[in-house]
Amino acid sequence: MYLTKLHRIKRTFGVSMLLAATFFCQSCNSFLDVDVRHAASENQQWQTFEDTRAALMGVYGLMRSALAENNSYWAYGELRMGDFTVYNSNDLKAVVNNELRNPQTYLEELSDWRRFYAVINAASVFIEKAPQTVELDKAYSEANLKYDIAQVRLLRAFSYFYMVRIWGDVPLLTQSYDNGLFKEFPRTDAQTVLNYAKEEILDAIVDLPFEYGTETSKYYNQVANYWRGLLLNKLSAYTILAHISAWEGNYSNAATYAGYVISHASDMKADYIDVKDLTSPQGLFSMETKFNGYKIVSFNFPYEHFEATQSGHIEQLTLAAPFVQKSYPEIYVSKDSLFSIFDDLADTRFGINASANDKYYTNYINDLNAEIPLFTKIKVVQDGKGEDSDYAVFGSSIIFSRLEEITLLRAEALAALNRGTEAIADYNTVRSNRGLPLRTFKYFEADCHKLLAAIFDERRKELMGEGWRWFDLIRRERLLNDNPVMRELIEREGIYWPIASEVLSANKSLTQNKYWE
């Protein structure tokens, strides 16, 4: 059976937490094929190695589901006031136009944070319950426990960071609520939540490895090659810290953390990727083994474990015939936008291919002559090898960060610190891999504001379709102060999403975000 089943599991905690819809396999014996309901069950026995394994992978499954459900990852990060045009969907048009209080079910579901609290609660249950398994099953060692708890602490911290970027102030829960205490919690100041997330990550980093499992010391009976790109590790933690710091405007820490990731990338087999492998159906976004280490922070849908799905992937929104049986995509980047964004014809992402009779590169766009050009940068239909367009399931990973992304983040941080020469070096690292000429600091007339604008332009091109545009626009405006519309949204807290009415009704201690009252 190829299609996974979507299970919506609801529980009511103090903030009406929801065990978000998530996917699990029915028939395969792989480590990844576990019922993620174990992740949040205090009734689980916590007796054996297999119990902790199921619970750990369940937390990952809930995190993946929180990002994928309703295509949230792209609605939050890519569509809102972004570069994509909506073909024919009032729901998506409302997101693009920042009309987030429109009375539409889709917007209400996107405004619901309970699926992220499902991750947080499951992580807390794991931290509280897993230690008892060490005493009950000798196969579950103290070292195994340290790795596991470090990972779920990181997932919990990442959930909080993600929610703060979307809603601002959110309730801070630091223990599980499967114990019958149905308290109502008010919102906690966003900076307090971020401080907690940072502390959790810094504590977890000590126990996180660069890679899991060796031939002599396997992790859940598997070696590093199996886990690479599937689990969060030490560099994943430093990457998330770098982004929290950048969001806070603490660019000194952001540069330090990002620098650590770049200098230790080889420790997890990460490297810069050429544009062909970035955009190939069997490239970075697929589960092709040789690229798994390149995924510094990612959440995967491995087809070989029957976890490819129809929803939760950008391909559901961007692809149409001949890739899938659909006449038009839901969203696309217009020709006018393409020519405006990609302003150098040498750009291999979208530029002129001189070796192919001066035709445009098709790395990001399938057919420029079509009425609506398809955005095909990410196109992992099935496992990336499938030729049957009738069978539209997708196996692409949600990649939060890769080496190009964290390199451009460090460039941003260095430029913000007026360390222009160093920033240019990182900026050029990405440009040179995309066929573009190197630039010198002189090009920017010793103006770090001009350099910052260029770095954000490069992020716009390199990370298109990867869920970064909206959050980059916010950080850009905080630094450059040159977009009155975005400035007003920041000042009035309109950058945050409204809170779902169901959440407000269930918890009278909560208040709506002021901009959306």
| Per-residue pLDDT tens over the stretch 396-430 | 999 999 999 999 999 999 999 999 999 999 999 99
pLDDT recorded at residue 304: 59
AA identity, residue 414: L
Given this model, what pLDDT does residue 1 score? 27
Q: First and final CA of the chain: distance in angstroms?
A: 46
> What pLDDT digit, counting tens, does each position of 277-304 carry?
999 999 999 988 889 999 999 998 766 5
Q: What residue type is 394 in one-letter code?
A: F
Paired tokens of 166: 């979307």
Amino acid symbol at 305: H
Q: Dmax over Cα atoms in the chain, in whole Å? A: 69
- Give the pLDDT confidence score for residue 40 in this predicted structure: 44
Amino acid 32: pLDDT: 31
For residue 411, what are the CA distances in angstroms to 102, 429, 458? 38, 10, 10
Distance CA 111, CA 104 (A): 11
Q: Please compute, for residue 279, the number of CA atoms within 13 A of its CA located in the half-sphere on the CB side.
A: 20
DSSP 8-state secondary structure symbol assigned to residue 419: -
State residue 402's pLDDT score: 98
Residue 311 confidence (pLDDT) above 80: no
93 phi/psi in degrees, rounded to 5: -60, -40
One-letter amino acid identity for 271?
A: D
For the ranges 16-20, 23-27, 292-296, the lowest mean pLDDT is seen at 23-27
pLDDT of residue 8: 30
- What integer pLDDT is reported at residue 94 of this predicted model? 96
What is the structure's pLDDT at 4? Answer: 30
**Tokens for 75?**
């609605």
Range with the poorest average pLDDT among 200-214, 258-272, 351-365, 461-475:
351-365
- Say how far apart CA 450 and CA 349 lie, in whole Å: 23
Alpha-carbon Rg for the chain, nearest whole angstrom, is 22
**Residue from 70, 147, 150, 148 nearest 110 by CA:** 70
* Average pLDDT over all residues of the chain: 87
pLDDT at 316 over 90: yes
Which pair of tokens denotes residue 21?
Answer: 């819809």
Residue with tokens 């201690």: 509
pLDDT exceeds 90 at position 206 = yes
Distance CA 311, CA 303 (A): 14
**pLDDT of 39 higher than 90:** no
At 181 the pLDDT is 55
Query: What is the model's pLDDT at position 17?
Result: 32
Q: Check: CB of residue 64 under 8 Å from CB of residue 299.
A: yes
CA distance 238 to 254: 9
Query: Peptide bond preceding 322: is omega within 30 degrees of 0, i.e. cis?
Result: yes
What is the chain's length?
Answer: 517
Residue 307: the pLDDT is 57
Mean pLDDT over 336-356 rounds to: 92
Q: Which carries the bigger pLDDT value, residue 25 or residue 155?
A: 155
The band of 493, judged by pLDDT with boundaries at 50, 70 and 90, is very high
Residue 147 identity (one-letter amino acid): Y
Q: Judging by DSSP bridges, how do beta strands 331-332 and 85-86 pair with one another?
A: antiparallel
Q: With 60 as the cut, is the pLDDT of residue 306 above it?
A: no
In 89-223, which ranges are continuous DSSP H helix?
90-96, 105-110, 114-129, 131-136, 142-167, 190-205
Average pLDDT, integer, range 64-78: 95
Confidence of residue 25 (pLDDT cuts 50, 70, 90): very low
Contact, 32 vs 74, CB < 8 A? Answer: no
